[in-house]
């Protein structure tokens, strides 16, 4: 039976409830009166539950879809402003004991190059990432208790935080590793991680079990209940996501929102982020072998609906998507973007050669440099932000949500974005990007409404040009 507050996966992600939701959405997809009422609720920034949002997803009326898009843009602007937080993934190890049929790291793949970074290699990777200008990483690893035990992950986090190269520093490490125990989540929290990210892959239990035929990840309940354990272990910023392409997108969308509702109902705080990965070609993986691929238009609609359904949850888009698709969804509510990513193990310090056996997890579509991405974002009117202040100031979980709900972004995240962009421009940017960025910062500083904050931000921006670093509100 469906119970949002249950701690059992099959009760808070009830298959029956999802099926009823989809039937309800089908029955109401042309019900203009209901759709207008749902859009009105979204316009009041109240968020939407999985049933309401599913009706909008099923609706194909062009004028209503236009309103969904306009609302998504407005909500993004009101709560997040025009800043986009930058990050890069760092692959630590691709040893894996699971049998995920969509991932080339699966145990039976004997031709992929298996690599695990040593601490020396991590220093080389992180130095290369710092030299690009990155301040925020998402570490990635396969699941392998022998090769990648929690002690290895913790040691890597320590190493990453310890590297200070020129003016560089990694100030926030997010972690994307397999579902684990409360005790291990506690240890990750103590190591100073930012967000714990775990993609559900699919909320459809039967498909989940088929897609994960072997290994510890086969256990649907253990995987689906991971965020509850993470929160029990003290991690209050967790990141959800499904891998679009594995199952019917409407099923996944309802499941994703039910998961968010569950976290809010049980822990008093919803997910910090939602990622929207789509299945990609990889070593021995052909995305065309999967039946549920989604078009770019459906993808954009999903992004817009996530934005209006959970206004205070960040949305992440990776380099799985092309420049063109990224440009489209940036306007619809994405708040975090990766740049210059490598999905191979060791790929930043030593990019893979054409004739080399790959260790990549999937092919990257957007292959531009970080400078090119930063330049492009600014030309589109966004502020690339390298800010990591919130969790360092203890603004995690509901404290971050409060900031967002009270629309304090303009007096906090916005100046932080400008100061960290200034650092980037001083230390890493090309001449052209620097010129563009300095003009943008001047213009954006004027928008800060609180006179005291504005004065301080202006002084800090000036001090950064003089060589000082790491200011934050
Ligand atoms: N092994 C961990 C786990 O089980 O969650 C860490 C995550 S893995 C390194 C990162 C994510 O990449 C996976 O959760 C999956 O959604 C995604 N992924 C795997 N294969 C992919 C593919 N072929 N295309 C796109 N994304 C893929």
Pairwise CA distance, residues 298 & 304, whole Å: 10
Ligand 1 pocket: which of 226, 245, 344, 361 to mutate (most atoms <8 Å of CB)? 361
Nearest CA to 309 out of 66, 50, 76 is that of 50
**Ligand 1 in reach of 364 Cβ (< 6 A):** no
Q: Which helix (H) or strand (E) holds 138?
A: strand 136-141
CATH architecture designation of domain 79-367? Alpha-Beta Barrel (3.20)
Phi then psi for residue 181, to 5 deg, are -85, 165
Task: Tell me the average pLDDT of the chain.
Answer: 96
pLDDT band at 37 (very low <50, low <70, confident <90, very high): very high
Q: Are 119 and 156 in contact (CB under 8 A)?
A: yes
pLDDT band at 209 (very low <50, low <70, confident <90, very high): very high
**Ligand 1 in reach of 279 Cβ (< 6 A):** yes
The per-residue pLDDT for 428 is 98
Q: Mean pLDDT across the stretch 284-301?
A: 96
**Ligand 1 in reach of 236 Cβ (< 6 A):** no
The per-residue pLDDT for 62 is 98
Q: Are 217 and 268 in contact (CB under 8 A)?
A: no
**Ligand 1 in reach of 223 Cβ (< 6 A):** no
In the chain the first and final C-alpha atoms are separated, in Å, by: 46
Q: What is the pTM of this model?
A: 0.97
**Residue pLDDT, tens place only, 437-461:** 999 999 999 999 889 999 999 999 9
pLDDT band at 50 (very low <50, low <70, confident <90, very high): very high
Angle (CA) 456 457 463, round 5° = 90
**Residue pLDDT, tens place only, 139-159:** 999 999 999 999 999 999 999
Q: Mean pLDDT across the stretch 29-51?
A: 97
**Ligand 1 in reach of 360 Cβ (< 6 A):** no
Question: Number of C-alpha atoms within 13 angstroms, CB side, residue 202?
Answer: 24
**Ligand 1 in reach of 283 Cβ (< 6 A):** no
pLDDT band at 271 (very low <50, low <70, confident <90, very high): very high
Q: CA dist 408 to 81, 179, 237, Å? A: 10, 34, 19
The helix-helix angle for 451-465 and 413-427 (nearest 10°) equals: 10
Q: How far is the CA of 115 from the centre of ligand 1 (A)?
A: 16
**Residue pLDDT, tens place only, 362-405:** 999 999 999 999 999 999 999 999 999 988 988 888 887 787 77
Q: CA dist 438 to 344, 379, 383, 429, 468, Å? A: 34, 13, 11, 11, 17
Q: How far is the CA of 40 from the centre of ligand 1 (A)?
A: 36
- Per the listing, tokens 């950064």 go with 464
Provide the percentage of residues in the chain whose pLDDT is more than 70. 100
Nearest CA to 247 out of 274, 208, 212, 215 is that of 208
Pairwise CA distance, residues 86 & 446, whole Å: 23
- The residue nearest atom 1 of ligand 1, judged by CA position, is 142
Structural Rg of the chain based on CA atoms: 21
Pairwise CA distance, residues 195 & 174, whole Å: 5
**Ligand 1 in reach of 471 Cβ (< 6 A):** no
**Residue pLDDT, tens place only, 309-338:** 999 999 999 999 999 999 999 999 999 999
């Amino acid at each position: 039976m469906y119970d949002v507050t249950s701690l059992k996966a099959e009760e808070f992600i009830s298959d029956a409830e999802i099926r009823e939701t989809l039937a309800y959405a089908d029955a109401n997809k042309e019900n203009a009166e209901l759709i207008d009422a749902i859009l009105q609720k979204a316009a009041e920034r109240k968020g939407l539950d999985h049933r309401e949002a599913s009706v909008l997803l099923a609706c194909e009326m062009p004028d209503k879809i236009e309103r969904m898009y306009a609302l998504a843009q407005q909500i993004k602007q009101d709560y997040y402003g025009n800043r986009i937080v930058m990050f890069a993934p760092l692959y630590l190890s691709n040893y894996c004991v699971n049998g995920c049929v969509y991932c080339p790291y699966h145990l039976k793949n004997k031709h992929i190059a298996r690599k695990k970074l040593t601490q020396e290699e991590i220093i080389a990777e992180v130095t290369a990432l710092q030299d690009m200008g990155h301040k925020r990483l998402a570490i990635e690893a396969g699941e392998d208790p022998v090769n990648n035990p929690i002690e290895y992950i913790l040691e890597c986090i320590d190493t990453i935080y310890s590297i200070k190269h020129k003016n560089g520093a990694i100030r926030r490490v997010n972690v994307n590793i397999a579902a684990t125990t409360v005790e291990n989540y506690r240890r990750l929290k103590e190591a100073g991680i930012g967000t714990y990210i775990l993609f559900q892959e699919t909320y459809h239990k039967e498909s989940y079990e088929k897609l994960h035929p072997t290994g510890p990840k086969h256990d649907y309940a253990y995987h689906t209940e991971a965020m509850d354990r993470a929160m029990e272990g003290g991690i209050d910023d967790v990141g959800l996501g499904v891998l679009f392409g594995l199952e019917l997108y409407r099923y996944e969308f309802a499941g994703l929102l039910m998961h968010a509702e569950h976290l809010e109902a049980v822990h008093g705080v919803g997910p910090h982020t939602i990622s929207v990965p789509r299945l990609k070609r990889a070593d021995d993986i052909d995305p065309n072998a999967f039946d549920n691929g989604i078009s770019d238009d459906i993808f954009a609609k999903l992004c817009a609906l996530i934005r209006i359904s959970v206004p205070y949850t960040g949305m992440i888009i990776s380099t799985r998507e092309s420049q063109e698709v990224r440009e489209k969804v940036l306007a619809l509510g994405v708040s975090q973007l990766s740049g210059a990513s490598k999905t191979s193990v060791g790929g930043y310090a030593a990019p893979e050669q054409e004739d080399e056996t790959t260790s990549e997890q999937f092919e990257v579509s957007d292959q531009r440099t970080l400078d090119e991405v930063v330049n492009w974002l600014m030309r589109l009117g966004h502020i690339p932000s390298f800010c990591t202040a919130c969790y360092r100031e203890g603004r995690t979980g509901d404290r971050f949500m409060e900031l967002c709900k009270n629309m304090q972004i303009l007096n906090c995240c916005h100046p932080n974005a400008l100061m960290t962009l200034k650092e980037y421009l001083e230390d890493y940017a090309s001449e052209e990007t620097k010129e563009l960025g300095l003009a943008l910062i001047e213009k954006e500083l004027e928008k800060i409404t609180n006179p005291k904050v504005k004065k301080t931000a202006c002084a800090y921006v000036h001090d950064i040009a003089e060589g000082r670093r790491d200011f934050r509100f």
